[in-house]
Amino acid sequence: MKQLLKLSILFCIGGLVYNLIEIMHHGSTHWSMLIVGGLCFLLIGAINELYTFDMALPSQMLISAIIVTAVELITGLIINVVLGWNVWDYSNLPYNLCGQICLLYFNIWFLLSLAGIFLDDWLRYWLFDEERPRYKLL
């Protein structure tokens, strides 16, 4: 039960932060982005659960960018293509895949993931008495 509460809190924080990023960048967001953001945040946090703090930050950032991009692709195909909600469309950007993901946003998520990694690690330390974060640059 304690684990479920922790994951729920992290999910909500991640979803809210993701929505704030969407609002700052696009001026609006969609309720589905709360779910996408929460899921991405939990998956980014799982990296340290699987690989400990011994993984270099750039490697964590790369895996995080891949995770966010994959979640956005799957979500985009469902909500934009199948359901036709048209929450986003990257068709006008270079190197896009089905208008749902693109290289530009992959690179942005790579950079933003550093904040996500730090936020998850420190929230787990402050709120849930988990291991104090430590980082390797290489």
* pLDDT tens digits along 61-110: 999 999 999 999 999 999 999 999 999 999 999 999 999 999 999 999 99
Q: How many Cα atoms occupy the beta-carbon half-sphere of 101 within 13 Å?
A: 20
What is the count of structural domains for the chain? Answer: 1
The answer, yes or no, to whether residue 50 has pLDDT greater than 90, is: no
The answer, yes or no, to whether residue 44 has pLDDT greater than 90, is: yes
Residue 133 and residue 122 in contact, taking contact as beta carbons nearer than 8 Å = yes
Residue 49: beta bridge partners? none
Task: With respect to residue 102, please indicate whether it lies within any of the assigned structural domains.
Answer: yes
Task: With respect to residue 138, please indicate whether it lies within any of the assigned structural domains.
Answer: no
Residue range(s) defining the domain that contains residue 110: 2-128
Task: With respect to residue 11, please indicate whether it lies within any of the assigned structural domains.
Answer: yes
Q: Where do the H-state alpha helices sit in 53-135? A: 57-76, 103-128
Task: With respect to residue 133, please indicate whether it lies within any of the assigned structural domains.
Answer: no
What average pLDDT does the structure give for the chain? 95
Is the pTM higher than 0.85? The answer reads yes
Residue 73 and residue 100 in contact, taking contact as beta carbons nearer than 8 Å = yes
| Structure confidence at residue 49 (pLDDT) | 82
Q: Which of 76, 78, 72, 74 is nearest to 37 (CA)?
A: 72
Task: With respect to residue 65, please indicate whether it lies within any of the assigned structural domains.
Answer: yes
Q: What is the pLDDT confidence band of residue 54, given thresholds at 50, 70 and 90?
A: confident
Task: With respect to residue 137, please indicate whether it lies within any of the assigned structural domains.
Answer: no
Task: With respect to residue 112, please indicate whether it lies within any of the assigned structural domains.
Answer: yes
Task: With respect to residue 61, please indicate whether it lies within any of the assigned structural domains.
Answer: yes
